[in-house]
Amino acid sequence: MTDAAELRRRTEEFLAAHPPATTDRLDFLRARFDAGLAWVHFPQGLGGLDAPRSLQAVVDAELEAAGAPDNDPRRIGIGLGMAAPTILQYGTEEQKRRFLRPLWTGEEVWCQLFSEPGAGSDLAALGTRAVRESGGDWVVNGQKVWTSSAHLARWAILIARTDPDVPKHRGITYFVCDMTDPGVEVRPLRQITGEAEFNEVFLTDVRIPDTHRLGEVGDGWRVAQTTLNNERVAIGGMRLPREGGMIGPVARTWRDRPELRTHDLHQRLLTLWVEAEVARLTGERLRQQLVAGQPGPEGAGMKLAFARLNQEISGLEVELRGEEGLLYDDWTMRRPELVDFTGRDAGYRYLRSKGNSIEGGTSEVLLNIVAERVLGLPAEPRTDKDVAWKDLAR
């Protein structure tokens, strides 16, 4: 079995053969994937070594110390955190070998075509249709919304309704959609910050080969749960240093600007600092649990905490800075590659945090998940679970 010493030896040999200072960045990343040092818990030949997930930190530390380039994980977070685990669990061998390498190296960006104007919190009510033709291909029509990075993506993970005659959770199928295909139209959604990192996507007679289906026909809801559970862990369980995230700028302002301090703000800062540290340590425990298997509904709790903390901390920062905190000087529509809080003012952080309780699953839905799947409380009465989707009121 591969252990930490073996991984250090492999990493040292890899670095000797591919010196970071003289090796092209993309060549280095491709070689790292082929050497099994991309995500060590993945199978051999797919970027891994069938090693324990916890040993990834050993490889990362050795590579970081050597000044090796990374794959810009924030830019390709949807691919790494959501698409890859789903493809690994449900994809065919051909799909895994086609998609995982360029996904990990960042050569191909991914997005997520799940939410719709009429199916956000109630995702299973989605109406985008995929109809199979006699030749086996699928023709997709519909609209998706709140799609991060759609304007940059080559591929998308997509769920669509393939059988309207069964209850809503059972008539869904999961696909991989080529965002460059005819019939895919991406339109920007301008946010309160002026940015347009989100998009709405219109699908008009988009043809998807059956070889780009993940899982069985009609089993898309189960496949999607793998994606959603990983998404919540990716958002709520981000590894942060102490005073990382939004608590860092507030703490620095408090230390550097004593004239802004009041007793009440001090008490609130201390409370939020402790809560941020608790969330950080809880996230570490959650990542340790991932070593034992797939992420479960516990990730919903972490994502809830992340959203609430970001909003409360950013609100405190604006209040601490007073009139200065309200400044926001650039409403120009921008199309960023990723959300970047570093170097941004307090006004931006406050406005952007409002989306945290919506993206990755609304807080209201996540509260239900925690109540039912973590605490074991009775589920809310639902009258539509056994009704065919086509008969539901819309």
Q: Which residues are catalytic?
A: 231
**C-alpha dist (Å) from residue 33 to 30, 99, 106:** 5, 13, 11
**C-alpha dist (Å) from residue 11 to 29, 198, 284, 314, 379:** 13, 38, 24, 40, 49
3-state secondary structure of 261: coil
Close Cβ partners of 259 (under 8 Å, ≥ 6 residues apart): none
Distance CA 213, CA 311 (A): 38
What are the tokens at 229?
């559970």
Name the amino acid, one letter, at 342. Answer: T
What are the tokens at 296?
């479960």
Phi first, then psi, for residue 385 (nearest 5°) are: -70, -30
User: Cα-Cα-Cα-Cα dihedral of 244, 250, 255, 256, to 10°?
Assistant: 110
**C-alpha dist (Å) from residue 47 to 96, 99, 185, 264:** 10, 11, 33, 51
Closest by CA position to 367, among listed 379, 355, 350, 384: 379
User: Cα-Cα-Cα-Cα dihedral of 344, 63, 69, 195, to 10°?
Assistant: -30
Distance CA 204, CA 148 (A): 20
**C-alpha dist (Å) from residue 143 to 11, 103, 207, 291:** 45, 25, 15, 37
Residue written as tokens 């998308």?
Answer: 156
